[in-house]
Amino acid sequence: MPVSSSKCTLTPDIPSREYFERNTIMTSPTPSPKGTALVTGASAGIGAVYADRLARRGYDLILVARNAGRLQALAARLSAETGRSVQTIAADLNDKAGLSKIEAVLRKDPSITMLVNNAGVGSVASVLNADIDEMEAMIFLNITALTRLTYAVAPVFASKASGTIINISSAVGIAVELLNGVYSASKSYVLSFGHTLQRDLADKGVRIQTVLPAATATDFWDVAGYPKQKESASTMTAGDLVDAALAGLDQGELVTIPTLHDGESWTRWETDRRALAPQFANAKPAPRYALPAGKA
């Protein structure tokens, strides 16, 4: 489950070439043949591990988060250890101006070959205790920002007949009763959105993977208000989570659930779900509703 990073000052206007030169920690002598991966929520947790693993796989990086200091430190380390070009953009995706900057980068930078939509925030509060403004902000980050970034890059990838979009959902997108209802619903959206992206983009050469972490040992739990979950025996490390997710990507999985050991149970669940669709096409209500004669 992804975590949002600490707030910092946004950079002005749409990032220019000069902006990137000032914020590139290290430039490789030659661009990576794998292209550039843009990772949101990259300053800590799952996003930072994705950045690490993708750099070691040979990708150049554009790292996005609110905490400029953490981004710079991570970029410096990854550049030194991998030799890849690492750019950083401090931006708040809950702010429309910050979000539009990243949309512009995705539309205009031809080197980008992968988008990892990881930025997000969660909660464990019930509807009786949660602050509605915080819930609205969660919806914007977990749904609106992810959607807009995907819409920005999808046409670019489709025009090149290549590219990968990885959207981080959550196991509570299925097990919806476990945490806060708005959080669960936002992650159900990401899962459903991924299915339709696969329908629309697979034949155009664009790969879509939806990743469903369960409890993962990151600062997510501190932000959500339940830090002791990080100490649970059932909580996965962020490293194992990302390594499994990338293995699933390598294997061609459309949906990856690293903690689910019985993979066939997901296949059966998906098959049953899809089999329901034709059964909805009825002009009359089902007999169980026992409508009076002439009304059914």
Outline where the chain has alpha helix (H). Answer: 17-22, 45-56, 68-82, 96-108, 132-139, 146-160, 181-201, 220-224, 238-250, 263-276
Amino acid letter, 169:
S
Please state the φ and ψ torsions of residue 70, each to the nearest 5 degrees: -65, -40
Task: For residue 50, indicate whether it is catalytic.
Answer: no
Cα 38 to Cα 20: distance, rounded to the nearest angstrom: 13
Cα 192 to Cα 195: distance, rounded to the nearest angstrom: 5
Q: How far is CA 222 from CA 66, 69, 123, 162, 188, in A?
A: 17, 20, 10, 37, 22
Cα 246 to Cα 118: distance, rounded to the nearest angstrom: 14
The dihedral sign for the CA sequence 124, 127, 128, 130: positive
Catalytic residue among 151, 183, 189, 226: 183
Cα 272 to Cα 129: distance, rounded to the nearest angstrom: 36
Contact 252, 230 (CB under 8 A): no
Give all strands of the β-sheet with 164-168 in edge-to-edge order. 24-26, 86-90, 60-65, 36-40, 112-117, 164-168, 207-211, 255-256
Active site residues: 183
